Each structure stands twice: as structure tokens, then as C-alpha cells.
Structure 1
């Protein structure tokens, strides 16, 4: 049911269905992000905010001895609110990357990676891949629009500056879990 401009209310038959839809996102329709929020007391069409989106982030390149939920949480706390951390057993063969679900601010650029410091003072660059990443701009790295609809890219080209895009489809995880 539509309750405002581009604002819809969904009703579910059970808490299980609601949880499956909320946790299973992000969802998209017609290449546009469908952002979902659980209803909260006192929420109205005028005060509901969609300022973050939860995405699973794969963290690649960490030294094997630093692949742990604790390290993954520490890295991703710098990006947004940690929603969930995938916990793997010591026997798991999938120690190539760590997975963390983070509520990322939609107004900030996605990060390509971060430095991971160790107890011996050495820094290691780890790179991020985003699962089920919706449309995003390869120029400014903001979710919700593409390069041809980017005001920053337009302004840059209008001023005669042709900057290369620092981001690309390589930020999207392939073959990962969702």
C-alpha cells in the first residue's frame, strides 16, 4: 500500500516471512534499490528515514592468522553499524575472505578497502567486495545512480577535466553467499 511519495507499506503473513525479506536484501526493482525498514512506534511517512543499507561485505587479503570474526568486526565498524558477522568453524575451507553485514550510510562512497594493522606494527591492505551490490556510480561511488546520472562526473567533464573512474564492477562479489 502506498503511504507517501515513493513510500510503500508491506504487510506479511508471519514474522518469519518479514524476517526473511528484511534479512535477504538488498532488493531492487527496475534497477533501483528497494530500501526496507521495520515499522517502529511513532513512525510516519514524514519522519521515516532511509539513510543506510545493510550489505554483506567480503574482506579479502587478510593474513590467515587474522581471519576472524573479531578482526572483521573491527574493520567494518569504521564503515557503518555492524549488523551481523559470519562465524566460521576452524575446519571451514572458506578462509579466503571474511564476511560482515554492515549498515552502510547511503550518502557516503563505498570503500575499496582498508589497512589492517597487526600487533607487530605491520599494515596489510585488505580489499572489499560487496554482495548483491545495487546500482552504484563508478565515478563518485555513491549507491543509487550510475555514471551517466552522476552530477559530480557531469561537473568534472563540463570543466574540461576527464578523470578516470576509480571504481568498477570489480567491487561486486561474484559467487559469494547472500
Structure 2
């Protein structure tokens, strides 16, 4: 049986070590030794382990990991069949608000003239039905 460490070390490709502590029923605490590693993992979210979503939160100094509410995950969402006038950051923010909370917008696709879809990153409450 694979452990969470060996399963995640492969797709995360860390430059440094990752320490993983079992926090009982609350989950796991991942400690990264290089900022580039944590940034890549957070930016690459969502991740899964054994067909379960990993809900990640970057701890702030002094924050208790056992008291962090883990109820939301960021997803990249593509919105297709839009006219060029609807492919703006302002519309991306509105679409994001319909799905959850707007986080980011990938303007590269539109600015390069692809124009097939826009891509937005939204924070979705995983307790709520889709």
C-alpha cells in the first residue's frame, strides 16, 4: 500500500524535503523546506490522494493547523462559446462569482488570439452541492 508521501512526492517533484505529519482525524500537515515547492503545490491545486480531494491551506505564522477550516478548493474552470466581448477580466470576475469566489483569470489565451474559451480560477466551497 502506497503512503501519502510516496504518492505525492512524484507529481509534486519537490526540490527539497517534505515532512508529513499525521494530524489524526483532522488530516495531514505538510512542511516544505523551499518556497518554490509550496508555491508549486498551492498553484497546482486541486490534488487528490486515494480518490479523495486534498484540501490545502498555507499556514500563517502562529496559526493552529488543527483550527483551520478546510472547506474550499481552488479550481481552474474553462468557459466556452463566448463572443470576444465577453472574454474580459470583468466578465471573468462575474462568472467566477457565479461559481464561487473569483481568484484569478488567465488572460494569455485571449491575448494570444485563441479566443475559444476563457479560463478562470475560482474558490469553491466543497460543502455545497455543485
Instruction: Sort the TM-score into its range (normalised by shorter chain).
Output: 0.7 to 0.9
Higher strand fraction: Structure 1 or Structure 2? 2
Per the TM alignment, residue 88 of structure 1 is displaced from its structure 2 partner at its CA by: 2.4
Superposed structure 1 runs of 4+ greater than 6 Å apart: none
Gaps of 5+ in 1: 111-178
TM-score by length of 2: 0.75
**Would the aligned equivalents of 1:82 and 1:100 in 2 still touch at CA under 8 Å?**
yes
Is the radius of gyration larger for structure 1 or structure 2?
1
Where structure 2 has 5 or more consecutive residues not aligned to the other structure, the ranges are 1-20
May I ask how many residue pairs the two structures share in their alignment? 109
CA RMSD in angstroms, aligned pairs only: 1.7
Structure 2 residue 108 is matched with structure 1 residue 88: yes
Q: Describe the shift of the 1:91–1:11 C-alpha distance in structure 2 as closer, same or farther (beyond 3 A).
A: closer
1:39 pairs with one of 52, 56, 59: 59
Q: TM (normalized to structure 1)?
A: 0.56
- 8 A Cα contact 2:109 2:118, kept in partner: no
- Normalized per residue, the structure richer in helix is 2
